[in-house]
Structure 1
Amino acid sequence: MKLTQLIAATLTTCVMLNCQAAETKVDAVAAIVNNSVVLETEVRDMVARVKKNAAKQGQTLPSDSALQVQALERLIMNSLQLQVAKRMGLQITDAQLDQTIENIAREQKVSVEQFRAQVVREEGSYELFRERLREEITTGEVLRANVQRRIYVSPQEIDTLTKMMEQQGASNEQYNIGHILLALPGQPSEEQIKDAESKATKVMELLRGGSDFKKIAIASSSAETALEGGDMGWMNINEMPTLFADQVRGKKKKDLIGPLRSGAGFHILTIFDIKGANVVEFEEISSRHVLIKPSIIVSEEKAKNMLAKFAVDFKAGKADFAKFAKENSEDPGSRLKGGELGWADPNVFVPEFRDTLKSLKKDQLSEPFRTEHGWHIVQLMDRRTVDATAEKKREQVTRMIYNRRFNEESSNFLREIRDEAFIEVLADK
């Protein structure tokens, strides 16, 4: 009798343990990326965010399986870029993250506390939002650092494009381009080329038949903008990759273009929208600043406090800006000038510096803020609107050529780090 009871008790315990195990799902690995992994929960979370954003915009989406494939690819690329950042020793500090959040809140015209409450309402966890933002900033810095050094814009290129734009009467029209890429491997076989071309032809047939471009992009594109529905954002025709610019010129809103063949694969484009006209005036600002770089000797807190104390003394009339800048600023270009930066287009500065300047009134001094260069304090001296001079046009042309190269080289860099990586996508169990 005792043996029968013992067996029954043992079976009951096993059943209970099995039930508990069934209820507790262990997080599984979706992909191995070099010495790192992408988890299934990360894929599910990204799919959920895409669905939520699509619902807000009224955007239809492809099947869950297609979304999961695109989300996994995005996470693989994020992992590769974060690994590059680690090898570079690139880290985004909490201070830099806080400054970015302050800038986002300022752009939305809310306080940091209000912005935090908004994030919690919409996303549930402010801490997870911070870490996603940290990753986004890090991957952006990886791209900038590795792509920037590949780009050189020669004076001859600037002269050629300037003359061409003058002859064509080119304007500052902006195009919002949609992009679908049917990708090819580095050294494709004839069969792989035919297969990709066939897929591109089928995609074109679907689009011509009225299918939603963004939905097809999310389902089919291999471009880094796939989860955004292929949306490349707004750009001047001279900022686009050369292959795209030649085809977009003269096209109208909603026109379909492609398939276009490149080394990356077959491209299909559409024009979501067109805006803008010739801009003959632009705003310049005059400002002065002090930069203090954190180091082993000067901590983040000490650098910030030095500038905060100076701000209090300056506003009270107890400190001289030029003297303080000459004695303390670590910006070699402006230190000997008492921190003066002269007249400049605010867009030449890094985003945090630019946005802080735009928020100031004439003669107003900012609070200390952080950029990738260190801690700053800046005073807006004046604003002015000027004609688009020949020099300004050359600056615009230089920026157009640079942006075009940056777009092209970014795609090349991402493709290279993926081709060189060990990636194993694990089948669903």
Structure 2
Amino acid sequence: MMLCMNRFKKISVHAIFIGLGLFVNVTFAQDAAKSNTVAESKIRNIDGVAAVVNTGFVTRKEIDDRIAALKKQGVKLPEDGSLRKTILDRLILEKIQLQNAEQEGISVSNKELDKIIGDIAAKNKLTVAEFKAKVIASGSTFERYKQLLRDDVLITRYREREVEAKLKISDAEIDNFITERTRAMTSGGAQRSAPAAKGEPEEIDVAQIFIPVDGGAGAGAQAEAKKKADALLRDARGDVDFLQLGAMAAKENPKIKFQDLGYRTPDRLPQLFYEAIRNTGGGQVANTVVKSPAGYHVLKVLDRRAAGASAPPQQAAAPDAGSTTPQNIPITQTLSRHILLRNRPGLSDQDAERRLQGYRDQVRAKTADFAELAKKYSEDGSAPNGGDLGWMSPGDLVPEFEQAMNRLQIGEVSNPVKSEFGWHLIQVMDRREGQLTVEKQRQFARAAIRERKFDQAYQEWMRELRDNATVKILNVDDEASSTPR
């Protein structure tokens, strides 16, 4: 087992998440397999065409299937008649991307697809045969499932080539980012700039961690997103770098976004954001999580300053913050050990948690030694060393493990902690002051800047795709079973 984040085996993680979603919602997407002219005519006659997209089309039945899948998930759907148009827009964009990917020669071989399906099955703790049976039992055919998965992988690869690969991040941007982060960390989160005089215009540097959730999502999904946001807000109040906390959360869940919005006057901030941080000082976190139609936002004011001002001269001249020579940043490193019970068939979460709780009780009662228990029971490469993981820096461990570890005092043993690897029992052995190397700083800075740039680049790219395509809307309002108007 490799616990460190930077040693994760990347087996098309995005495709795995796609596959898991498809497994739950096999009836969700359209049958986009290429068909001959006779088959296409048959689909048109049975389903009716909602829109012509370049040389292809989107059927009314495809829209119906998406709505049926949403209802099956218990999603609260809007009643203003906008749903069918929204889904049609999504289907049109998917169709355009698939057409373009095909024209550009992007493909997914059968061998690659089988490997992805194998990974998805393993993620669900199933054999491929068992997974196939589950798909069929859900009411779909396995061939349709494979086609939907192939389409999603094609779209992902096309997007990566067209958007992600074209994001340019200069060394100067990285240097500026590190300078700002260094200034914030070495000042202990204190306000960095002179505040605006009373009544004078000001600029506010706000950062956010965003947990998206569809406004029409069910109560369960809303509650889960709110719970995650509240947990991040609690962690953000501690002695942590806010954007690094966001990076850890994004590694755990790629849907979570984090970004530094940069200096903005209040009128250029979302009204919800400004109301939440109106009385929040530089270096402080907003008192509550902000709810918007798109999801939940955890906000931190990095700095407040007079409009048009720059960093104070004495700060710009500080050796660590203003020097053009890269500097290591002081950080707290933790020495810990753990006992791991891996995820595996035959071991339920309840059993794993109960076993680890028993080990914890023995250590606390001093009837057993943690290291000896790790050697005997831990299912990890660190077991021969008594579960010793060595000195770890912020960001080195999976988020669930690191967050639980950071809450422990030296010598304290955690409650059982669940991660993607299984269940852990953690003991902190020591802490020390270390240094965040320049190389690690640059890696983190590049990831943070990329997150900041990606959303804007992606939205612009999608608009260009739609504008350059030939799309004719024919009939979106009627269901497939009704008579076209």
The normalised TM-score by structure 2 is 0.43
